Amino acid sequence: MDLATYAAENGLKRVGARPPFIAYVKEAWGRRDFAWTLSSFTNKAANARNRLGRWWMVLTPAMQGVMYGLIFGVILGARNRPEHFISYLFCGVFLFSFMQGTFSNGATSVTGNAGLVKSLSFPRVLLPLSATIQQFINLVPQLGLLLITVAGDTAISGFGFPLTWKWLLFIPAMILMVLFGAGSSMLAARLTVQFSDLNKVIPFAFRIIFYSSGIFYSLDAILKNHPTIGAILKFNPFAAYINLVRGILIPGREATAELWLICAGWGILLPAVSLLLFWKVEERHGRED
């Protein structure tokens, strides 16, 4: 009798063995409080030594928005800036900051918690999900500032009462974006565990994504003479989610059915595929150099 047969007959199983997929998902859901608690304490630790504390969650993207607004909206391109430029810019900066943060923090969620991974038994997918929750906690006050900015900009521009029924669509748009963030966080965690050098490339990759996502300019206007490139960039999830929210909140813009389909595809397929990939290598987390 070999050891595997003997262990099975006596109810023994290998330490750290990967459970079936459905059981894995149930176990992760059952320990969701762990992910929430870890994200909360990580946020507190990150802001513990700052005098302004959690205010930096709002101040940092707000200052970025002001900086880009001065450079690209006033100094370099006042004539070509989109309508409702402040609302347009803040939508881009705040939402891109969230999506970049979920990927970047997810990339280090496993490798940066090596001691936790090697000492405790829990579904490792909770680590990138915790990174997503952390970024969402940071996003909430930013969304409050964003809505106030859009409402004020709309009222000042003479469009009347800014709140309309369309603003209710902001909620499902945010849900889809958070799901996309969770999927990208899981994918980043898996990739960087196997390819640690990816962490060196991520900042440069996001510079390219930032400038190709129409944060402070209109992609349609820039690419009107390059329809092929424009058709490809439509599927850029970062630009798609930003344009979807702009279409919901900003007067004169439209959240098209095509945008909803692209965002729904990314928000549903990416988390499902990333979770499956993460589960397949669950036993290897914490064992790779």
Residues contacting 183, CB < 8 A, separation 6+: 266, 267, 269, 270, 271, 272, 273, 274, 275
Is residue 289's pLDDT more than 50?
A: no
pLDDT tens track for 35-45: 888 888 877 77
Q: CA–CA separation, 169 vs 163, rounded Å?
A: 12
Q: What is the average pLDDT score of the chain?
A: 81
pLDDT tens track for 90-142: 888 889 999 999 999 998 888 887 777 777 778 889 999 999 999 998 888 88
Q: CA–CA separation, 244 vs 263, rounded Å?
A: 8
CB neighbours of residue 150 within 10 Å: 26
pLDDT tens track for 132-173: 999 998 888 888 888 888 888 777 766 655 667 788 999 999
Tokens of 197: 């050098």
Tokens of 93: 């900066």
pLDDT tens track for 212-221: 888 877 777 7
Determine what percent of the chain is predicted with pLDDT higher than 70. 78
pLDDT tens track for 173-200: 999 999 999 999 999 988 887 777 777 8
Q: CA–CA separation, 131 vs 119, rounded Å?
A: 20
